[in-house]
Structure formats: C-alpha cells, structure tokens
Amino acid sequence: MIYHNLYERSAVQTVTAAIIGTGHFSTALIAQAKKHPRLRVAALADRDAAALEKAMSQAEILPGEYALCDTAAGAERALRAGKIVCATQARLLFELPISIFVECTGNPEAGALHAVSALEAGRHVVMVNKETDSCVGPILRAMAEKKNLIYTPVDGDQHGALMQLVEWARDNGVEVISAGKSRDAEFIYDKKAGTITVYSDGGITIPKTITASLEDSGRRYFEELPESRKAEYLERRRDILKALNPRGGFDLCEMVIAANATGLAPAVSLLNDYILRTPEIPKVLCGAAGGGLLAGEGVVDVITNLHEPCEAGLGGGVFVVVRAENSYSRHILATKGCLSNKDGTAALVYRPYHLCGVEAPTTLLCAGLLGVGTGSRRYRQDYDIVQEAAVDLRAGEVMGGDHDTRLLTHIVPASPLAEGGPVPAHLLNGRALSCDVKKGTMITCKMIDRPEDSLLWNLREKQDDIK
C-alpha cells in the first residue's frame, strides 16, 4: 500500500470524525482509530444511551475519556476538554468542528437526514448505511460534489471492497467477466459425517448453526463439479440444501450498490447464489464459451462458499473473474496464483475477508487528508432492489427491511416512483400496506400510502427527476 506516502503530503494533521449509530462496525472503528495518530473519533451518537456506553466499553475507552452530553453547549465543552462526545441526539454534533460524519444507523430515513445535515454543514460523509445508499446514494454523492465534499462507501463493507477490486482490475487492463461477494454464511462439508453445517453471526433470519445430513446418494454432488454437468450438480446442491438459508435481501442490497457504482449488471434478478467451492468460481461464473453458466458477462452475483473443515473459506469476501486480452497475460494469470477455468480464459482474483470497522480508517483518512473517496468513479441509479410478497400480506401490515422473511428481494432496472411501479425496498421499509397483497406479487407504490414528511422519498423523487 502507498497510502502512508500520500497521507504525508497532506497539510491536514488530524482527521476528526463523528459516528452516528453504534454496532459492531462503529465499535471496531472507534477501537482502531486509537491506533492512527492522524485519526480521531471525536463524537458518537445513538438514541440509546446504554448502547453508547457499551460501544465505549467494547472499544476499551475509559469512562473518563468520554462524556454523555444532552446539549450543544455540553458537547462543545466536552470536545474542548479532549473527551469523546457521546450524544443521544445526532443534531448536537453537526455544529461541532468535525470534518467527517460516518453514518452507521442502518435506518434508511435517518441515514438520509444525517447525510444531508452533514453535507449542509460542510462535512464529508462516509456512508456505511447501505439501506439509504441503495436508493438515494447517487443524489447524495451529487450533492457532495457540488459542495466539493466527499460522499463515499467505506473500506471494510463488501460492496466497498468489491468496488475497489473491480477498479483494480480495470486499471490493470483486464476485463471483468463477473464480480461478487461470498455470503457470510458458509457451508462446511464434513465428508466423514456426511453433513453440511452453516455458521452465521446469529442475525435476524439465520440461526447460529444449522446442520443438514446428506443421503449417501447425494454426497457426490458436493465433490468436484464435472465439466459437462455443472448445472445439474449445482441444482442438486441447491435442492439438497434448500432447508438451509439462501441469500437474503441484505446480500442483494450490497450488490445493487456495487452494480450502480461499477456499471456491472445483476446476473439475474434474484442473483444466482450458487453453492461453490472457491476453485469452482471461475469455472461457473463466466460465459458459455469459457465453460461457464452465465448468460452474459459483465455481471455481479452472490455465491455461498462450500468448503471442508480443513480448508479456508472466503470469509464473506469479494471476488472478480477476469480475462486478459493478451495470451501471454492470460498465461501469467493462470500460472502465478490465480485459479482458472479449464482453458485459462477466466481467472479468479479474490479477497477472502471484509474487516468492517477494522479497515474503515483508510476511507476516513483518504477523505479527510486527501479529499478522495474509496468507491468507484461513477454512481448512477441503474438498478433498485424491490420486494415481492413471500406470503399473503394484509392491509395495515408494516413492512420491514431486507431481513424481513415475509419479503423476497429482487434486483430490477430502476424506475421513477409511480403508482404502478415497484417501491425501492428501503423506501418501503417501515411503511404500512394500504391493501391486501397476495403471495408472489411485487409491492408497488399504489399499495402503500405515500409519506408526506419523508426526506428519503423527497430525495428519491429529486434523483428520479435528474436521471
């Protein structure tokens, strides 16, 4: 990395940051910021005072090093005293001398409010909140650019890491055939026991551990994919493990941001979510001419990584499958460490980790010291995630986010908000249905009451007008 050389060219000595929202991402960022002499987390906001204190404790910030503040004057005094300001009202932070705001709430409406407030106050925005970013990210970035400010995704999140990998490939002159992420939940194949176990972080929709036992006749489908029977084997893997959790709406949320930022297209509206060993990725996620299963190239997709207990997984990491135009370059890719398809025309480059807040300081320092983001060159709302009713829904039911098991998420071409058009998923979040919706029906704008006081909806309408 050359970042340290670039940081030294900056006249700015210290980047001060405020984080809105507590959780594993922000807690790790607070902890890691202590290791960077040019980065200071100066303030933290969360509506829950107990969550603020928990984050401070987990980041090993001592009680005397922070102050709980409930007024703007109190926040200013704490900051001048060198303490971390902890506030239950984010509005107390926007007038403080802070250069960057990191939005980590995961609440789409709050994310829009905080991003706009920060930009209007002349502050850079690091958007960890993928829920907001997925539906109004382009207009927020445009607002930042008009003010010569930075609006950027973050290192450590999968879509941010994937953007960097795609840009790396393009900068080196290799064609991106496909790009994507491995789900955090991985399938561990124990040959001796004949079981597949999926571990997760105990999220809303996925239990901590689920194990499926394989019939003897089904075990062969988890061995190496035969060249001529890839589709059959992958379909059988999916069918055998249908009781285990497939990709969720949150996986598609990250990938729609990556698609909008890179110009790549979703492989299919639900994404394929093939169950793949790492060496199988370049053999499957390329076009038919290379022996793969993709109908087209230049796509984003999601996989579930399959591996044995003694093998390394992908850690929810990201990957690109690339092609070099020159035959000698293809030879280099195939013989210098890249896994390839059978004829060497598709090579896998992957990053088997995404470290959330642990590696996020890079983005903050790039924005604050260098005045650059760590995302892609472009950002347009080419695609949206939208929701189909996975069960019969009744009028009055309040829709949840992309963890809501009543909803099935698709990626579709973006369209302006209109009565007959689908509602982008996170504009739907928290809204009540105005009518019954049958299973299998896409939820459209006419099925909910248009909120009158929503900044998120107003931003999306303005973004639609610009497009």
Residue by residue, DSSP assigns 42-103 as EEEE-S-HHHHHHHHHHTT--GGGEEEE-SHHHHHHHHHTTPEEEES-GGGGTTSS-SEEEE
What is the reported pLDDT for 201? 55
Task: Output DSSP code: residue 219.
Answer: G
Long-range CB contact pairs, 213-222, < 8 A, 24+ = 214/240, 219/191, 219/194, 222/189, 222/196, 222/306
pLDDT above 50: residue 136: yes
* pLDDT tens by residue, 148-175: 999 999 999 999 999 999 999 999 999 9
Q: Quick one: pLDDT band at residue 203, thresholds 50, 70, 90?
A: very low
In order of 193, 205, 260, the CA distances from 393 in angstroms are 41, 19, 30
Q: Quick one: pLDDT band at residue 205, thresholds 50, 70, 90?
A: very low
Q: What percentage of the chain has pLDDT greater than the value 70?
A: 98
* Integer Cα distance of 168 and 423 in angstroms: 34
Residues 6+ apart with CB under 8 A from 158: 181, 254, 316, 317, 318, 354
What's the predicted TM-score (pTM) here?
0.96
What is the reported pLDDT for 202? 43
Task: Output DSSP code: residue 438.
Answer: -
Question: Looking at the chain, which residues constitute the CATH 3.40.50.720 domain(s)?
Answer: 3-156+357-370
pLDDT above 70: residue 200: no
Question: Looking at the chain, which residues constitute the CATH 3.90.1210.10 domain(s)?
Answer: 383-451
Q: Where are the beta strands (DSSP E) in 66-220?
A: 66-69, 84-87, 100-103, 124-127, 151-152, 175-182, 186-190, 195-199, 209-213
Q: Mean pLDDT over residues 122-143, rounded? A: 98
* pLDDT tens by residue, 330-344: 999 989 999 999 999
Which 3 state secondary structure label does DSSP give 449?
A: coil
What is the reported pLDDT for 340? 96
Specify the CATH number of the domain 383-451. 3.90.1210.10
The strand pairing partners of 301, in sequence order, are: 180
pLDDT above 60: residue 207: no
Phi-psi region of 422 (alpha: psi -120 to 50; beta: other; left: phi over 0): beta
Strand order of the β-sheet with 39-45 is 66-69, 84-87, 39-45, 15-20, 100-103, 124-127, 151-152
Provide the token pair at 420. 């007959």
Mean pLDDT of the chain: 95
Q: Mean pLDDT over residues 16-45, rounded? A: 96
Name the CATH superfamily housing domain 3-156+357-370: NAD(P)-binding Rossmann-like Domain (3.40.50.720)
Provide the token pair at 445. 């704008």
Provide the token pair at 116. 């706009």
* pLDDT tens by residue, 209-268: 888 899 999 999 999 999 999 999 999 999 999 888 778 899 999 999 999 999 999 999
Q: List phi, psi (to 5°) of 422.
A: -70, 150
Closest CA to 455 of 466, 447, 463, 445: 463
* Integer Cα distance of 15 and 34 in angstroms: 12
Closest CA to 387 of 440, 417, 425, 437: 425
What is the reported pLDDT for 245? 74
Q: List phi, psi (to 5°) of 23.
A: 160, -170
Q: Quick one: pLDDT band at residue 466, thresholds 50, 70, 90?
A: confident
Closest CA to 259 of 267, 250, 247, 249: 267
pLDDT above 90: residue 1: no
